[in-house]
Structures are given as structure tokens and as C-alpha cells.
Amino acid sequence: MSLDKEKIKHVAKLARISVDEAKVDSLTKDLNSIFKFIEQLNELNTDKVEPLTSILNQSLRSRKDEISDGKIREKILKNSPKKNEEFFVVPKVVE
Amino acid sequence: MSNITNQSLSEILESIKSKKISSLELTQAYIKNIENAKKLNAFVTTTFDQALENAKKFDNKSNNEQLLSGVPLAVKDLFCTENVKTTAGSNILNNFVPSYESTVTKNLWNNGAFLLGKLNCDEFAMGSSNETSFFGNVINPIGDHLVPGGSSGGSSSALVADLTPATIGTDTGGSIRQPASFTGTVGLKPTYGLCSRWGIVAFASSLDQAGPMTKTVNDCSIMLEAMSGFDEKDSTSINKKKETYSKNLKDNIKGLKIGIPKEYRVDNMPKEIDELWEKGKKILKDLGAQLIDISLPHTKYALPTYYIVAPAEASSNLARYDGVRYGYRSQKGKDLIEMYENTRSEGFGDEVKRRILIGTYVLSSGYYDAYYLKAQKVRQLIKKDFDDSFTKVDAILTPSTPSSAFKIGEKTNDPVSMYLNDIFTVPVNLAGLPALSLPAGLDKQGYPLGLQLIGKALDEQKILNIGYAFEKNCGYKNEIKKWWS
Amino acid sequence: MSKEKFDYFINGEKGKYEVVIGLEVHAQVLSNSKLFSGSSTKFGADPNKQVSLIDSAFPGMLPVINEECVKQAVRTGLGLNAKINNYSVFDRKNYFYADLPQGYQISQYKNPIVGEGKVLLDMPYGSKEIGIERLHLEQDAGKSIHDMDPSSTYVDLNRSGIALMEIVSKPHLRSPDEVNAYIKKLRTIMRYLGTCDGNMQEGSLRADVNVSVRKVGDKNFGTRCEIKNVNSIKFMQMAIEYEANRQVELLEDGKVIDQETRLFDTKKNETRSMRSKEDAHDYRYFPDPDLLPLKLEQKLIDDLKKSLPELPDNKKERFIQEYGLNSYEANVLVSEKEISDYYEEVAKLSDKKLAATWMMGDLFAMLNDKGLNISNSPISSKNFAELVQSIKSGEISGRIAKEVFEIMVESGDNPKKIIESKGMKQQSDPKELEKMINEILSKNKDKVDQYKAGKEKLFGFFVGQVMKLSGGKANPQLTNEILKKLLKG
């Protein structure tokens, strides 16, 4: 399987990363060498193997339904690059 | 007094306890070292004022009952620290000041230590040489042209240069053990779930684990004891009784069965690595351990598996860096989508972007089964290899890395050769097991080399004991000229 | 009740089309705190006041699941007669949006907590079973506010991380009416269970509507469009109507329907393609490595099953058996748990059938009029039962009862007291009535003669006169009897 530039641009779009046109060639080369390496896995027949979902052999632990958090708006907003007293502010979203 | 900082953590703790030195004097000594070691670029942030305050506070009302009484510690800049900038080595978090403290660092402070500064690391812990950090590469004190390993390269460099008495790193595929090996120090990746991940900037959640980096095995056991423990805020934290690793440290390993996996003898492995391994086997055998040949047949597939699983998780974990709630935001772009694309493109470095793209691709529609699902199946096989072997042996001995520290810039243009550095460390993360890297010798250039002891899940005490016995009989000692100061 | 025939079809020139609808209902779980954090779920707080570091996805934050949300999902699954899965997995659904702080939604993809189930609808043309495909737990997103600033969007994360149950139906619905009945039935079941308040105004119940059309008789489904996030039954119905007709028009014109996500514009009453969702279909689901598989012990499921309240379908059957109601009455009276409780309290103390009639008539009309519901009714169930009993025993007439009812609404008083103090008791003393009737007959001799001559219609006139003279209190039955007797004489 080889990755072409169009595929890489599509994946970059999904990942919300803009790719510098000047770097696409070297990126394509790097990713292809990485995928060539990764595809060694195809040597293995794994038809009868269950995929591993968690390395820990235990069930999910739960917590009690209690209100123990929140009411920290100042802390939540403090680091935001753009905000007002109540909200995070982002460029207009077009639906 | 002048050489207090090149002592081990346990010796320093003893000196504090016996009041041979005050916490303030100790802290001042480290600050002086750090100020003289700017060339190493090991620190992203220093918190000297705060550290001096804490030292004074300790001296005024010293409580020597704690594990880490009165000791200043620098930590990898991947641990969120309350009101202290936390960058993960990235431009995208360059201005991020958490309002919270990671569980692991909080545990250290609750045991009497205090923060000295934040240590450089590969961006989001993605790297094996500390060359991907937004804050520049870190230099290995072993030689001014060498990398300190990665991603916890600031940690290994600072430790070996006596800029902190001990430190902590995180290990997703070898990020503690490889830098420890490159600097002749001790590094432990604990069992997955032993140390809380809460408050640590995530790279790959199913693999990430924090652990100690120290000068001696005893120090390692002290640090592990302090930092580990159940945390109800982490759903993958293991709920078990806290262990007293340092108190239980024993050097009698007679009768223990040590597995030697044949698959770790890889093609093109330098002869001196092989010799080092032989040396290690001999030491353990002489101490009364029994060497047993074992097979971990899927070892070869660990690295390809890792380079699917880790980027996949990372691509999702790093989606939160979008310029909305914290961190860097690009001023370019006319709408929300362009803001995202520019923010992430400008905020992340090349290696991080590369891994996000790999991860996005292996999860994307039409490729999931071929890559991600396949990798999770192979991961099952790798885990099974270890499970099978551990029915026969107590621990497994392997080299830590396939080479000693390489030159700065040597591998930056060849990602695969960079990735191959983690060939011996990655299987352990995939299987969630504990592993200890121990300094064991030097190569012909005089650069340190390490051996790795892999244990069963939650069997940290046993590999620490073996390491402790090994250390006493190996006679390894770092001889470093402080060329940087 | 006479059975009508199902007749929701769209007639085109090339044939008759049937509309195929499947719903993905998002029901907010009733819980104090969020699915994976300890923030409050209360509606209406100030912006970003119910947000934790986890809900806003700060670096290093980790989810820990709320046990009550899991139980609520199991209860709901049991209420939908569904299979509860002992093993389920939380996955990440990856996409970027301003109000999705993690950059992914924690949801369940391949292994949901609840599997197949079913819901019964009572339609005018008979009862219809709607299959449930699955129910899974997931996080809600925050809220983007687009109209507070001309150039910016504001983000409020109060809702971010609240637990939702996504209930996916099979494509078994065939008309806007069935959608209406289905949503109402789901809401009733969840309200009985106490797992979702079903409040559509507050967004506790929303749905994505999948619509396709096909010619009647076709076996294969047509291409479907998904209308996102519709938050009222009326809008769902309007959106389906519009969308189905749009699709039929396309087919009639020989055009192809694109499978796409559409938005219902409530102002224009039309659906339109959502361009922002163009590339969002690739959600890159994978198991959330911050969480472990959820393993439910059978005992927990059994215990929850034992503690379930009686559900509407069972209650309806019981009302028919125990109270002698017809299917329609039973349906109405079980439609809300509070109504059924009220009815049972009343029925225990009075005539069961008459109680049903009066509740569904005057009581509901009054509540509706005043914008109240049964739980804040000005008439207590005990007083209402007394009123019904007073009618049944003949103490007051139906007409007087209406007056008493009005006074009860205003004053909240007990009907006995009202009847006593206002002297509204029915006149049922035959001697008194006879005296009154004789007086009327003697005043209207001419009419009595006409009646006797065969103009029997005049009987009503005499009754009216009696009522007038008695102030409406004369017992109608007795009045009839005595009148007849005296007119004969």
C-alpha cells in the first residue's frame, strides 16, 4: 500500500492540520517508508486472534453519582486565547 | 558539602535527616549547578524562588518521617504542575499554566519533596533523542555531540549532570529506559496502572506510564514508592495495597529463574551489545540465578505494532489542542476550520504532525481493520508471548537499546532508523509490564550501555531486587567531566 | 373503537410511495452529575459554571464513569424489553467542533450496553411493534452560540459531558403520526422509569431522523437522508413531510438521492444539506484507552429488573382488567405515570368508570386551560374522588357537579363542604318534589291539557320548570318519575 499526496492531504484535512505544499514530497516519502515498515505485520496470520481491548484484566470502575466538581469558570477560561467573562470565543462557525 | 549533588538520593536524604546539610543549602547547590549547565538545555522552566521558599519552610519545621524529606526535584515537563507552566515540549502549550497538579507529582510533594523545575523532553514525548522539542535539543553530559536519549532526555541529562538528585519521566515505548541507558543511569517503567496518569499530558493512553529515573537502584525504589499508588481519578489505575519497595529491597537472588529471549539477538546488533548481555548473564549466574533460554516469537512485530497503536491513540489524544480553551491559537484563517488547521499546523512540530497523520490514517474508514485492528491482534500475541514465558521464569534479561547514545542530528532525517532505537523497550509497553534499565558497561567509545530486566505485572519488587544485586556486582560507575560548566 | 386504515402515502405520477423512517433518539440521562465527571447536570446554569477540567478536556484529564448513568441505561433497556449486554465497550468518535473539547465524543460503537428491543404503539389502525436496534451511552457536546456576536461564535460547555442514551430504532416507522406516537411512547416509558425527564424544550430529548422513500411493494430501502438534531415532535413531523416529498420529487424527476446529513430549517420549514458535515463521516472510532470494558454482573441486571416500576403497557392491561376501562381510556390514563397514580387514588375511593370519565373530561380540560399538569392540579385526588362519589350517590346532579368543580378549582375546598355551605345538595325528597310539581302543574293547566291531548313533547317543558324552581337541584330521575305519575292522574 502506498500513500500518495492526495491521500495525505485528505488525512491531514481529517486531522485538521494544514500541510505546507513545499513539505508534501518529503512527508510522502517519510510516511511511505514508515508504512513499509509497519506492513511487516501482514506476514502474520491473525484470523483467529482476538484483538486486545485492554491490557488490564479488570472491569471498569465506577464512581458515585455525586456533584463534586464544576463552579470553576475562572480556571476553565483562564488559559483561553480568546474569551469574555462567560464564554470561550472562536471564529464564526458556518453550519 | 561541595560534592553533595553528585551523591545518590538516598545519601542526600541521609544527610538531610542527620542535618549534615539543610534543605536550603542543598537547593542552593542544585540551583548553582543548573545555572552553570545552561548549555545542556535540560530545563524548560525553573522554579528557583518557589524551591528556595519550600526549602526554608522545610528547614524551619523539618519533618524527616517522609520518604523524600526536604529534597528538591526537577520533573519532566509532561507532568502538569499547578501554577507552573507545562509545555510538553510543544509550541502549542508554550503558554499553558495548569490550575492543577498531576497525581504523581502531588505524591512526590506529599512525601516531602518540592519542585525545582521542569525538564525538557521530546514534543509530546514523541521522540528518542530529545530533538523534537520546541525548546531545542538537549545535550547528553556524556559528550557534547551526543543525544541524551528520549523522550525523557531533559530528565536523563539533568540527572547525570547533577542538576536534580533524582527525577521522573514517562515511558510510552522506552522513553525512560532508553535515555537511562544512554546516560548510565537507572530507569524504571512500572506496570501499566501502577502510577496514575491523571495530570500527565497524554501521548498514547494504553502505553503511557510514569516512572523514576535515578542514579541507583535503591533511589529508584524510593522514588517508585513515593510516586506510585492507586488513584480513583484514573480508570486504569490498579487498586492495590501500597508497597514499601525500598524497605523490602534485598540483594539475594539465589534460585531466581532469568529468561534469556533468543529473539532479542537482532541483525546488525553491535558486538559490544552482545558482549554486554553476556556480561549481565554471567553476573546473575554468579549470584545464584538460573538462566533459562526462552522464546518471545512475536518480538519482531512489536515495533510495527507500536507504530500503529501509539500514533492512533495520539491522533485522538492530541485533538484537544485546537486553540479554543488553552494553548497557542493562530491568528490566521477566516473561520473556525481554518483557525484549527493553522493553529495545529503552526503549534505542532514535524514529528508530532507525522504521527498524528499516521494515527489518523490507520483509524480512517477502510483502513481500520488492516492496521489498527491488526495491531491490536498482534498486541494480543505479544502479550501472550510474555504470559507464556512468565510461567517459566521470574524475570527476563535483555539489552536496553541496540546501541549507545548516537550523535545529535544523526537520525533526524530517517524516522524509521530513529524508531528502531526502541526495538527492545517497546514490547514491554505493549504488554503493560514493568522493566528496569540498569547501567551495565561502556562501549568502545566509552559511552554507557544498559541492560533491561523485565518482570511480571506488578512484580516491581523482584526486578528491583535483581537490579540491586546486579548493581552491587557490576561495578559500573559514571565518570563524567563537567565540561559544560 | 372502529379501526381506521393506515393511509400515509405520497402519490407521484409514477406510483405510490411509502415513507420509511428510523429514529436515533438522544435522551438525556437523569443523574446528578455528568457521565465521566462530577459536574452538575442541572439545566439553566450560568454559562460555563457546570464545567470541570475533564469536561473542558484539559491536558492529562481522565474520565471515570458514573455508576448511576450505567444503571439508568440498563433500566431503560429493560423498559424497552431489550437485551442487556454484560460486556460493552466505550469508543471514541473523533471529529472537530468548537463545542467538543476533547476532539472526540466518548460513545459506544461496536459493543453497546443494550441490544435489540421493542416498543408497542397504539395506532388508530391497531397496535404496531417498533423494533429497537440498540441503546448506547455517550457524552453530550457543549453549545455553540452563533447569534451573540456578528463575527464570533461563543462556546458554553455546561452540557459537555452530560450522559445521553442514544436509542436507535429499526426503520419500522412509516408516517409522521407513527413518529409522534413512538416518541411519546419512549418518553412515557422513560418517565415511568425515571431515567429521562423527556423535556423537549430543555433539550433532554432530541432526535436525528432518517428518512427514505420507496414505491409501495418494493422490498429494498431507498437512499436515506439523516436530518440532524430535531428537538420537537412537531418539527420532526414537518421535517419528515418535507423531506419525503423532496425525495419523491427527485425520484419522479429521474434524479438520484444523495445519502447526506441535512438540517431542518424551522423558519423556512425545509431541510437543507449541511455542508459543514461533508467530511465528518469518517469518525475513526476506536476503543477509548482511558476506559476499560464495562462488565455488568448478571446480579446487578436482575436486581434492577426486580426494582423496575410497573410499565405503561402492563399498567394499561391492568386498568382494563381491574377498573373495567376501555382501551382508549386506559391508554390516556397510563400516558403519564403521575396521571395513572392520580387515577388510581381516585378510583380507590370512588366509582372507577365515572372517575375515568370525569378525569378525562373536566379535569383534563381545566388543567389544559390553565397550563397545569396533574402534579400541580388545584384539586387533590381525594377531593376529586369525593366529587365523583357525590355524583354517583345522587347527592348532586351532573350539572351541579360542574359548578362544584369550578368552586373546587378556585378555592381548593372539599366538595362536601361546598355542597353543604352553598346548599347545592340535590332535592331527592319525593314529598317535596311532589309539592313543587303540583304547584307547577296547577300554574300551567293549559299545557297539562295539551299534554294529555297527546302533545307529549311538553314533558321537557315541565322538567325545565321543575329545575328552574328548584334552582337545578331537583333529582332528575325522581322528577321524571313523579311528573309522569302526576300527569297521568
pLDDT (average), residues C423-427: 81
CA dist., res. A24 & res. A4, Å (int)? 10
Asked whether residue C330 is assigned to any structural domain, the reply reads yes
Question: Please, which pLDDT band fits residue C1 given cuts at 50, 70 and 90?
Answer: very low
Chain A residues within an 8 Å CB radius of C98: 88, 90, 93
- Backbone φ, ψ for residue B343 (5° rounding): -60, -50
Asked whether residue A14 is assigned to any structural domain, the reply reads yes
The C-alpha of C46 sits at a distance from chain A's nearest C-alpha, in angstroms, of 8
**Tens digits of residue pLDDT in B247-264:** 999 999 999 999 999 999
Domain match, C246 and C186 both = yes
Residue B176 CB contacts under 8 Å (≥ 6 apart), including other chains: B152, B155, B169, B170, B187, B188, B189, B211, B213, B437
Catalytic residue among B10, B90, B129, B151: B151
Say which residue, C440 or C428, is predicted with more confidence.
C440
pLDDT (average), residues C320-341: 94
pLDDT for position A64: 98
Q: Is the pLDDT of residue B100 over 60?
A: yes
C47: nearest CA partner in chain A: A86
Asked whether residue C2 is assigned to any structural domain, the reply reads no
Interface of C with A in 94-133 (CB under 8 A): 96, 98
Instruction: Give me the number of domains chain C comprises.
Output: 3
Asked whether residue C236 is assigned to any structural domain, the reply reads yes
C440-451: buried (b, 16+ CB within 10 Å) or exposed (e) per residue?
Answer: bbeebeebbeeb
pLDDT (average), residues B472-477: 95
Domain match, C324 and C208 both = no
Q: Are C282 and B365 in contact (CB under 8 A)?
A: yes
Asked whether residue A77 is assigned to any structural domain, the reply reads no
Q: Is the pLDDT of residue C469 over 90?
A: no
Q: Which domain does C341 fall in, by range?
A: 310-422
Instruction: Give me the number of domains chain A comprises.
Output: 1
Domain match, C223 and C356 both = no
Question: Please, which pLDDT band fits residue A1 given cuts at 50, 70 and 90?
Answer: low
Q: How many CA atoms lie within 13 A of C334 on its CB side?
A: 23
Q: Are strands C286-287 and B257-261 parallel, antiparallel or unpaired?
A: unpaired
Q: Is the pLDDT of residue C38 over 50?
A: yes
Q: Is the pLDDT of residue B427 over 60?
A: yes
pLDDT for position C276: 54
Interface of C with A in 298-327 (CB under 8 A): none
Out of C305, C340, C369, a domain closes at: C305
pLDDT for position C279: 55
Chain C residues within an 8 Å CB radius of B324: 98, 101, 155
Considering chain A, what percentage of its residues have pLDDT values greater than 70? 97
Q: Are B188 and B96 in contact (CB under 8 A)?
A: no
Domain match, C316 and C367 both = yes
**Tens digits of residue pLDDT in C132-165:** 999 999 999 999 999 999 989 999 999 999 999 9
CA dist., res. C336 & res. C340, Å (int)? 6
Distances (CA, A) of C257 to B119, C170, C223, C261: 57, 21, 6, 12
**Tens digits of residue pLDDT in C366-394:** 999 999 999 999 999 999 999 999 999 88
Q: Is A4 on the interface with B (CB under 8 A)?
A: no
pLDDT (average), residues B288-304: 97
Asked whether residue C1 is assigned to any structural domain, the reply reads no
Asked whether residue A76 is assigned to any structural domain, the reply reads no
pLDDT for position C398: 86
The C-alpha of C284 sits at a distance from chain A's nearest C-alpha, in angstroms, of 10
Chain C residues within an 8 Å CB radius of A72: 51-53
Domain match, C413 and C462 both = no
Whole-model pTM: value is 0.93
Domain match, C379 and C392 both = yes
Question: Please, which pLDDT band fits residue C173 given cuts at 50, 70 and 90?
Answer: very high
Average model confidence (pLDDT) across chain C: 93
pLDDT for position B1: 41
CA dist., res. A85 & res. A69, Å (int)? 20
Residue B342: its H or E element: helix B336-347
Distances (CA, A) of B40 to B139, B210, B310, C76: 5, 23, 29, 60
pLDDT (average), residues B398-413: 95
pLDDT (average), residues A63-83: 97
Asked whether residue C341 is assigned to any structural domain, the reply reads yes
pLDDT (average), residues B450-479: 97
Asked whether residue C238 is assigned to any structural domain, the reply reads yes
pLDDT for position C3: 64
Option in A64, A87, A95 nearest C67 (CB): A64
Q: Is the pLDDT of residue C13 over 50?
A: yes
Q: Which domain does A23 fall in, by range?
A: 5-43
CATH number, domain containing residue C478 = 1.10.10.410
Out of C393, C422, C451, a domain closes at: C422
pLDDT for position B148: 98
Rg, C-alpha atoms of chain B:
21
Domain match, C239 and C332 both = no
Q: Is the pLDDT of residue B167 over 60?
A: yes
Write the ipTM. 0.97
Domain match, C177 and C245 both = yes
Catalytic residue among B76, B106, B118, B456: B76
Considering chain B, what percentage of its residues have pLDDT values greater than 70? 100
Domain match, C384 and C440 both = no
Q: Is the pLDDT of residue B62 over 80?
A: no
Q: Is the pLDDT of residue A88 over 80?
A: yes
